[in-house]
Chains A and B, each alone.
Chain A
Amino acid sequence: MRVLKFLLQKELRQILRDPAIFRILFIMPMIQLLILPLAADYEIKNINLGVVDHDHSEYSRKLINKIVSSGYFRLKDYSATFKQGMYAIGQDKTDLILEIPAQFERGLVKEDEATLLVAVNAINGVKAGLGSAYIQGIIQDYNQNVRMQWIQFPRFNPQPTIEVASSNWYNPNMNYRLFMVPGILVMLVTMIGSTFAANNIVREKEKGTIEQINVSPIKKTQFILGKLIPFWMLALIELTIGLIIARLVYGIIPLGHYITIYIFASIYLLAILGLGLLMSTYAQTQQQSMLVSFFITMIFNLLSGLYTPIESMPQWAQIITRLNPVSYFIDVMRLVVLKGSSLSDIKYQIFALLGFAVFFNTWAILNYKKRSG
């Protein structure tokens, strides 16, 4: 016990003495947490709209006004011909063209029928998809309104219509940050857990200090615990700072208990630190461990459900996400913060992570050798 205490003391001293580590550990994540949630926004706004109006009628003007006033579109180009409109797209001035044919008003009024053309620049797939969906929604709404004005409705609808009323549970205002901040927090904790712990051990290899440790009677488990515990604590401190920022800056107060988050984070860190430890037993230089952990954390983060919902991934990718500890933590964070889940609600995730922790740590301890063949 005395040895372990001393190992921890030495480790903390080294960490606190290294100004770079301290800055990387605390300042960088804070900046990330302050910038990313505001910048990485899914909602597509400010789509540049080009209009080719051959009709110049009151109805076409109404339609254009309706689209622009929706807030999603900015009228950037008003061309006389479709060719000119296409040119504007080519110049990247607009993202989307709405062409209104010459007989638009007449067709609408006389024949109850009119056609419109929407052409989208699909270089940015997300923007194109959402843009055309928005504009279709607006046009449909416009269509309905026009009909309402003209038609004398019978007492009952001639056609049965189904109206959908939606209500957003757990995040009533669809506040994007509520969804994003806990996820980014998980990412940061993961980086500290895996990359930093791995690098620290590899540094001892690089400097040769591990030789001195290896010839001493110190036990394998003592050495490993001495490495894991400081980073386990650091990551929890990091989580605390993150939760404070989330509360003060974004006003995010978890519906569930903070204790639930901490208990889960503690277990999660066991798994992630085990992974870092495992990487360190294979890497010979800090550069190697850095690159490997960069690669792994990137895949983990992209497949975690932070940026894209897991449910919309292909079946095989969904299986991969089940092998990804990050996805469980992001899931749990959102469940606890937004839905107020308690420990019993997340027991499946807890068991999964305990499994990861046992798996990674056992592998790492088996692979860490004080002597080489």
Chain B
Amino acid sequence: MQPITVENIIKTYRTKKTTVDALKGISFAVNKGEIFGLIGPDGAGKTSLFRILTTLLIADSGHATVDGYDVIKDYKQIRHRVGYMPGKFSLYQDLSVQENLEFFATIFNTSIEENYDLVKEIYQQIEPFKTRKAGQLSGGMKQKLALCCALIHKPSVLFLDEPTTGVDAVSRKEFWEMLHRLKLQGITILVSTPYMDEASLCDRVALIQKGEILSVNTPKGITTEFKKPLWAVKANEMFPLMTQIKQNELVESCYPFGQYHHVVFKTQENIKETLEAIAKKGNYTNFEVQAIEPNIEDCFMALMKE
């Protein structure tokens, strides 16, 4: 039995004048003990999907189960079994760290002691501040506390909606390490993130865009699906370089990526020559060119185009 199955979920938000198709028939399944990443830009429909799976929102049509229970019919069972960490920090800011944890333990009919070993590692990091009010914690600490609160009732499925948004690089790394340790304890984790670099930390990812799933695969699988040659170019005059590359008919796409432009070609041959010819024609200084392996973001860009 797969802990999360989603079949053809459709959700449309209607206001007086406009309708927004948040989810246009999404299907996927998550295996037990897996970190499954939902990767997509803002507005892709990630939060809507989370809210449907955590029984907060009712989908227009489609079918979904969490831990074997239907999200519509058996929502009461699901609420006992899942941990949910919303994207927005939503613990009581005027209660202390310990009081928050106690409160969430109590409303799930358990106590901190009962499941302490599960949260121990994370809680120890924030324990020195346990009398501090939650509102006065730093961003990373808040996320750790929120994770503790989501874990305190020993959920079998954990939903994390953009847990690392707005958190510094070090805390982000720590956070992912914690997720991996949780996974070892058999907890299935569905995590969403707008950061492509975090995708490689998941076991499997679904790329989601405008309410549609572009691809579901392992991070490696997704990058090997990328068949076309990919090159990185760099020069002092970046913008004219990009416009000129885009004009070439052998080029499928060109987009900025960090210090480089990534260029995708339609053909396999004569790539380096073509790029160097462009550079020569435009008199670009410090021109660099190299073939590279695609990463998730390249795949995402390519899938978005299709």
Contact = CB atoms under 8 A, between A and B. Distances in A.
Contact of B55 (A3, A212, A213, A215): A215
A3 B79 CA distance: 16
Interface string A73-90: 000000000000000000
A216 B91 contact: no
Contacts of A373: 57-58
A2 B90 contact: no
A209 B92 contact: yes
Contacts of A218: 107
A47 B122 CA distance: 76
A71 interface: no
B195 interface: no
Given A17-B94, A371-B57, A371-B75, A215 B88 contact: no
Contacts of A207: 90, 92-93
B107 to A, nearest CB: 5
Interface in A109-159: none
| Contact-residue bracket for chain A | 20 to 34
A186 B55 CA distance: 42
Given A14-B95, A208-B86, A216 B107 contact: yes
B82 interface: yes
A13 B95 contact: yes
Given A14-B94, A371-B56, A372-B57, A213 B107 contact: yes
Contact of A217 (B90, B103, B108): B108
Interface residues of B, number: 29
B77 to A, nearest CB: 9
A205 to B, nearest CB: 10
A257 interface: no
B86 A212 contact: yes
Contact of A2 (B54, B88, B106): B106
B272 interface: no
Interface string B275-287: 0000000000000
A10 interface: yes
A215 B107 contact: no
Contacts of B203: none
B103 A371 contact: no
Interface in A177-235: 207-209, 211-218
A7 B92 CA distance: 12
B76 interface: yes
Interface in A17-36: 17-18
A207 B75 CA distance: 24
A373 B89 CA distance: 23
Nearest to B88: A208
B94 A372 contact: no
A6 interface: yes
B231 interface: no
A214 B58 CA distance: 13
Nearest to B102: A6
Contacts of A211: 56, 84, 86, 90
Contacts of B80: 217
B300 interface: no
A6 B95 CA distance: 13
Contacts of B79: 215-217
B91 to A, nearest CB: 7
Interface in B78-114: 79-80, 82, 84, 86, 88-95, 99, 102-104, 106-109
B296 interface: no
B109 A3 contact: yes
Contacts of B54: 215
B149 interface: yes
A212 B57 contact: no
Contacts of A13: 95, 99
B92 A217 contact: no
Contacts of A372: 56-58
A370 B108 CA distance: 16
Contacts of B109: 2-3, 217
B58 A371 contact: yes
A10 B55 contact: no
Interface in A326-373: 370-373
B56 A215 contact: yes
B16 to A, nearest CB: 16
Contacts of B106: 2-3, 6
Interface in B103-146: 103-104, 106-109
Contact of A6 (B55, B86, B94, B107): B107
A13 B95 CA distance: 8
B58 A212 contact: no
Nearest to A226: B107
A27 to B, nearest CB: 20
B94 A212 contact: no
Contact of A3 (B56, B76, B102, B107): B107
B93 A212 contact: no
B163 to A, nearest CB: 14
Contacts of A18: 94
A212 B90 contact: yes
A14 B92 contact: yes
Nearest to B60: A373
A216 B56 CA distance: 10
A-B residue pairs, 9 tightest by C-beta: A208-B90, A6-B106, A215-B84, A217-B79, A216-B107, A208-B88, A218-B107, A209-B90, A373-B58
Given A18-B94, A212-B149, 17 more contacts: A2-B106, A3-B107, A6-B103, A7-B107, A10-B95, A14-B94, A14-B95, A17-B94, A207-B90, A207-B93, A211-B86, A213-B107, A214-B56, A215-B54, A215-B56, A216-B104, A373-B57
19 contacts: A6-B102, A10-B95, A14-B92, A14-B94, A207-B90, A208-B86, A209-B92, A211-B56, A211-B86, A211-B90, A212-B84, A212-B91, A214-B56, A216-B108, A217-B76, A217-B80, A217-B108, A217-B109, A373-B58
Interface of A: 2-3, 6-7, 10, 13-14, 17-18, 207-209, 211-218, 370-373
